[in-house]
Structure 1
Amino acid sequence: MSLKERDKKHLWHPLTQHKIHPEALPIVKAKGALLFDEDGNEFIDGIASWYTSMYGHCNDYILNKAQSQMHQLDQIVFSGFTHEPAIALSEELIRILPKNQEKVFFSDNGSTANEVGIKMALQYHFNKGEKRNIIIAFEDGFHGDTFGAMSASGLSVYNGPFEDFFIDVKRIPTPNSQNINQVIKQLEEYIGSNEVAAFIYEPLVQGANAMHMYEARYLDQILATCKEHAVITIADEVMTGFGKTGMNFASDFVETKPDIISMSKALTAGFVPMAVTSCTQDIYNAFLDDSVGKAFFHAHTYSANPIACAVALAGIELLSSENIQQNIKNIIASNKGFDEKIKKHSKVQTTRQMGVIYAIELKIDMDRYGKKRYEIFDHFMKNGVYLRPLGNTIYILPPYIISPEQLELIYSSIISLLDDVI
């Protein structure tokens, strides 16, 4: 039996209605910016496999670092033990994170990184003798699939069956020049109850919300208001982190820095699952007490896995290199050039870009996971390009090592979609 046939016997895939779409495409190999299926077809990975493999698939430098670590220390409990890869990674993360960050806590994925951040914020106030149980979040944000992260997410396509079980979340619109004063007023009304523990947000780019973008100056006003009222700010940098916005973190564009930052995805360069939640010294200090009950009792079996830490260290080394930084600049410039060609096309509603992230909103009504979406997806795959539409938005978020020729093939597949398909 083919891999496709074997897959259908036992596997349940994420974000999939199997009655309508019963088959998954088997990928047998990946290298650089390319994916290869079992029939030998190749596809340019235009979204770095959900924004993870930013230095290319099976990067030799990272691969060698992982292999070397496997021979030294594979796994060890991180409660009561420590190890050099975790220590070195904490040092490197603090070096590139916003300067107010001092402590790092390990978990397994983006959802759990945000779950940790939310729990830290809630317990921070609890440990100080305050009962604050309300979280503020943006409308249409996405923070993950565990219950705290899901509660903070505003995309109902993911949340519908579970909303009766959520923690208390109040939502505000993402800010712009027209609504910023009203957003601040609404935020202050929520905070006025003195029950707001935290504000969680995707800084500047909302990934799952079709790469919706907003300006740093408006976010800064929101964060400053939160700071005035001791509301903990949690920056969800799971998608935006590690160079995608043109800076190490989207929070680098904002004057008021977050108290807590969640990271995953590109943290380990697409090699292995791992997440980090960083925080300020003040957050950490609120958990220091003679009472064990004030400690942060949250644990993952694979927390700070040595192999994952070694991979993350290699990724940060590459991110900081002159070569990758130049590649990021080249992709940004290339996307800007493409935007000049495409933004006035009759099928294009709007375009937007931040860093290497480029999005096109089409003049077409369609469901997020409807028939038209799969027609667009199939068009790209037939052209040897892997792009994953978000409703009527097509976006590019390529690996930093993508070649100019591969980028041009992505661009041409988009142009042919606009000219010949939709």
Structure 2
Amino acid sequence: MLVLAGGHRGQILLSRRLQAELAREMTYTAARFGHVMFPENVYEPALKCAELLIDGVGKGWASRVYFSDNGSTAIEIALKMAFRKFCVDHETLLEFSEGRDEKKHITIKVLALRGSYHGDTLGAMEAQAPSPYTGFLQQPWYTGKGLFLDPPTDILFNGAWNLSLPEFFAEIAPEEYGTFSTRDEIFDKSRDTSTLATTYLAYVSKQLQEYSGNTQSAHVGALIIEPVIHGAGGMHMVDPLFQRVLVNECRNRKIPVIFDEVFTGFWRLGVETPAELLGCKPDIACYAKLMTGGMIPLAVTLATDALFDSFSGDPKLQALLHGHSYSAHAMGCATAAKAIEWFKDPETNHNIIPQGGILRELWDEELVQQISCHSAVQRVVVIGTLFALELKVDASNSRYASSYAKSLLQMLREDGIFMRPLGNVVYLMCGPCTSPEICRELLSKLYIRFGEFNRA
């Protein structure tokens, strides 16, 4: 994270205006509404927020909004939804009858990617591969209830975008995938017909086949991914072609697809939803963080009508029994509605390109290239409001607990830049309304400090 002190008075005033508008909306709503128990009720802030979500991040696929209070809980709800839909679509697995909801010998697990992060509640942790967040001191109950695949990633290094493949793709010759002239080429859907796409599909199919073939009692009941960017796992850009192949193969097998957009949603990656970058839609998606402009906790899980229908029936026990006393609380919903409207309106967000509804490029391309060529840098990822880099270190010092970047961060604090590292990965995040001039100033200070960091 970052805080920038000083400079660019006009842009800072614009950011303060957004904060003031959100604070005003919260105050007005708090005075207007007391606590509302949301089940079997609807009221203006929740309705307006739901409409904006369905017409925005959920446009073209979502029809239902389930409110909660944080991203991790939104993920837990999404898993419940996906598993139920999987069971309904594969009705031979489960028998739904009063007093008998499941056959105890059947286990349903997730398909997820190594390096992804889906939250710190117990169920969300089970849906991610072993990591510093799931170690014994953090979660003694952790078993990792999933099939976890190592994803290919895209990096900027020495001025060029390259594809980094895991070891099991070592037989693929570099000339089969090569480098990319621009970042946009990484997202080009013409790659769907490439040899690499065929290789990805064969690998995914084989992994799913072997997993289901090893036991008749374990089934992959959901795919969960962070679209495009693995955030807390190290700011890795996952190859969108690989994720698109994953989504399509799971669809073919009637495995519900969850997009965890808690970190990446609402223009974090330059578009309202990273589904636009992937070129495919989920069955369920989770949002929080930027949804309220970071002002107040609120989260949502969006779903299709087909997901909703899988919980329909006469017995109440068939419903989605997941409740929060402050579900769809008025201040959160009103603040989210204001933030979403502000971010997508060119009159209030000068970074929005009206024709496409995307953000203009915020990070100076020349400086980004220079940083990617620096001798201290292993890789760079830059997209939307995110700039991240990994410092070159030996393997033993590259984990989350690494303090290698400490001296660099202390130097940057002298410049008014406060960052939280992920081990030897440091990153800058601006807001959707931050001017490119401020982003350039941040990169300039970072680049200058590299010289002192190398000498230290």
TM-score by length of 1: 0.82
Displacement of 1:155:
5.0
Structure 1 residue 223, shift from structure 2 partner: 0.5
Does structure 2 retain, via aligned residues, the 8 Å contact 1:55–1:269?
Answer: no
The whole-number CA distance in structure 2 between the counterparts of 1:282 and 1:274 is: 25
Q: 2:45 is matched with which residue: 72, 77, 85? A: 85
AA at the equivalent of 1:137:
A
- Change beyond 3 A, Cα 1:375–1:234: same
Q: Are residues 1:121 and 2:121 paired?
A: no
Q: 1:189 aligns with which of 188, 210, 214?
A: 210
AA matched with 1:358:
F
Q: Which residue of 2 aligns with 1:272?
A: 296
Following TM superposition, by how much is the alpha carbon of 1:79 offset from its aligned partner in structure 2, in angstroms?
Answer: 1.7
Equivalence map 1:230-269=2 (5 Å): 230-269=254-293
Separation in 2, partners of 1:315, 1:149: 27
More deviation, 163-172/198-207: 163-172
Match of 1:351 in 2: 380
Bigger shift: 257-266 or 355-364? Answer: 355-364
Residues 200-239 of structure 1: CA deviation (Å, up to 9, x unaligned):
1100100012210023222111101000111011000000
Query: Aligned residue for 2:172?
Result: none
Aligned residue number for residue 384 of structure 1: 416
Give yes or no for contact 1:148–1:166 (8 Å, CA) kept in 2: no
1:399 to 427, 431, 448: 431
What is the CA–CA distance in structure 1 between the aligned matches of 2:408 and 2:6, rounded to whole Å?
A: 15
Quick check: 332-341 or 213-222, which moved more?
332-341
What does residue 123 of structure 2 align with? 148
Distance in 2, matches of 1:65 and 1:220, equals 39
Q: 1:267 to 1:75 in 2, by over 3 A?
A: same
Q: In the alignment, what sits opposite 1:107?
A: 68
Comparing 261-270 with 121-130, greater Cα deviation is found at 121-130
Asked whether the equivalents of residues 251 and 257 of structure 1 are also in contact (C-alpha less than 8 Å), the reply is yes
Q: 1:325: how far off?
A: 5.4
The residue type paired with residue 153 of structure 1 is Q
Distance in 1 (CA, whole Å) between partners of 2:38 and 2:388 is 40
Return closer, same or farther for 1:225/1:150 CA change in 2, 3 Å cut-off: same
Deviations 1:327-376 (A, max 9, x none): 26776243433212222112122212222222212222434233323333
Q: 2 CA distance for matches of 1:355 and 1:406? A: 14
Tell whether the 8 Å contact from 2:220 to 2:255 is kept in structure 1 after alignment.
yes
Could you tell me the percent identity over the aligned residues?
29
Equivalent residues in 2 for 1:6-405 (5 A)?
A: 42=5, 59-96=19-56, 97-126=58-87, 129=91, 130-131=93-94, 133-161=108-136, 162=139, 164-166=141-143, 168-175=145-152, 178=165, 179=169, 180=200, 181-190=202-211, 195-323=219-347, 326-327=350-351, 332-365=361-394, 366=397, 367-405=399-437
Q: Tell me the number of residue pairs that the alignment of Structure 1 and Structure 2 aligns.
A: 375
Residue 364 of structure 1 aligns to a residue whose secondary structure is coil
Aligned Cα root-mean-square deviation (Å)? 2.5
8 A Cα contact 1:117 1:277, kept in partner: yes
Cα separation, 2, equivalents of 1:109 and 1:57: 25
Range with bigger deviation, 61-70 or 360-369:
360-369
How big is each residue's C-alpha offset from its partner over 1:93-129, in whole Å with a ceiling of 9 and x where there is no partner? 0001241111010111010011110111123334564
Deviation readout 1:75-107 (Å, 9 max, x if unpaired): 211123221110111111000124111101011
In 1, the alpha carbon distance for the partners of 2:150 and 2:207 equals 9
> Contact 2:3–2:418 (CA<8 Å) still a contact in 1?
no
Shift of residue 182 of structure 1?
2.3
* Contact 1:98-1:251 within 8 A present in 2 as well: no
SS in 1 for 2:111: strand
SS of match in other structure, 2:361: helix
Question: What amino acid is aligned across from residue 150 of structure 1 in structure 2?
Answer: M
Change (3 A) 1:213 1:325: farther
Cα distance in 2 between the residues matched to 1:238 and 1:158: 17
Tell me which amino acid in the other structure corresponds to 2:432: Y
Does structure 2 conserve the Cα–Cα contact (< 8 Å) formed by 1:220 and 1:255? yes
The verdict on how the C-alpha distance between 1:57 and 1:34 changes in structure 2, with shifts beyond 3 A counting, is farther
TM-score (norm 2): 0.76
Q: Which amino acid aligns with 2:391?
A: L
- Note closer, same or farther for the CA distance 1:81–1:333 as it changes in structure 2 (3 Å cut): closer
- Residues 103, 278 of structure 1: alpha-carbon distance in 2 compared, 3 angstrom cutoff: same
In structure 2, C-alpha distance between the alignment counterparts of 1:369 and 1:361, rounded to whole Å:
14
Q: What is the identity, as a one-letter code, of the residue corresponding to 1:105?
A: Y
Distance 1:229 1:247 in 2: 29
Q: Give, in whole Å, the separation in 1 of the partners of 2:36 and 2:297.
A: 16
Equivalence for 1:18: none
In the TM superposition, residue 57 of structure 1 has moved relative to its aligned partner by 8.8
Structure 2 gap ranges (5+): 8-13, 95-106, 154-162, 170-199, 354-358
Structure 1 regions of 5+ residues with no counterpart? 1-32, 36-41, 45-53
